[in-house]
Amino acid sequence: GNSVTQMEGPVTLSEEAFLTINCTYTATGYPSLFWYVQYPGEGLQLLLKATKADDKGSNKGFEATYRKETTSFHLEKGSVQVSDSAVYFCALSDQGSWGKLQFGAGTQVVVTP
Amino acid sequence: SQTIHQWPATLVQPVGSPLSLECTVEGTSNPNLYWYRQAAGRGLQLLFYSVGIGQISSEVPQNLSASRPQDRQFILSSKKLLLSDSGFYLCAWSDREEAFFGQGTRLTVV
């Protein structure tokens, strides 16, 4: 079956540091890949997505590239802010099954001033 | 615009008591609806999904059940809660592009 593995947290960074959160997946076929973010006290929000190999999703300065050869979808941001402190979830779904998501365990990111 | 409402936000229930969590969606018709749970230290796991009124699919065996009495209403229930039912429960709906999540309910079974 499908599975998602992402790096454990918490990840603690200083403001303006570079952030990388690793995510790898196992899936049959060609899944769609997502990053969701959960800010303190809030529900999940879609951060970015990619639906086919070599696609790059981007939003709010975050980027992730769908790498089929390495089955990875690593999240990156060049300069984090305190407001980026949140829990980040990598997820996948089979094509066309947008709500049936397989999530990673989540990575807490803490950005300090 | 579409919105999703989920309540209550937090709940503390004794072992053996019943449970009812409600989720409603506004601004869309015939959505696919989902219940997810996040247990402590684990990722979110899909519990149930529904593609229409009265149509429920269960993804994992458990002490919980779901119902969809109306097009935009999705209810998660239990007759007798277990300690292992504690967790963060999220309702979601999806269109052809992505899934949209509610604010979640943190359930603590004591």
Is A105–B104 a contact, with Cβ atoms under 8 angstroms apart? no
Residue from the list A91, A99, A106 with its beta carbon closest to the beta carbon of B49: A99
Quick one: closest CA in B to A6, which residue? B43
A44, A45, A46: best mutation site toward chain B, by most B Cβ within 10 Å?
A44
Task: Note whether A112 contacts B: Cβ–Cβ < 8 A.
Answer: no
Q: What is the mean pLDDT of residues A16-45?
A: 92
Mean pLDDT of A20-36: 94
Share of chain A above pLDDT 90, in %: 81
Q: Tell me which of A3-7, A23-27, A40-44 is least confident.
A: A40-44
pLDDT in tens, A68-79: 999 999 999 999
Interior angle at CA A104, CA A98 and CA A107, nearest 5:
125
pLDDT band at residue A106 using 50, 70 and 90 as cut-offs = very high
pLDDT bracket for residue A98 (50, 70, 90)? confident
Exposed (0-12), middle (13-18) or buried (19+): which is B98, by Cβ within 10 Å? middle
State the pLDDT confidence band at A112, using cuts at 50, 70 and 90.
very high
CA dist., res. B23 & res. B83, Å (int) = 23
Each of the 110 residues of chain B gets a pLDDT tens digit; together they read: 778 999 999 999 999 999 999 999 999 888 999 999 988 777 789 999 999 999 999 988 789 999 999 999 999 999 999 999 999 999 999 987 788 999 999 999 99
| pLDDT at residue B20, as a whole number | 96
Burial readout A14-40 (b: 16 or more C-beta within 10 A, e: otherwise): eeeeebebebbbebeeebbbbbbbbee
**Interface-testing mutation among B42, B44, B51, B68, with chain A (most A C-beta atoms within 10 A):** B44
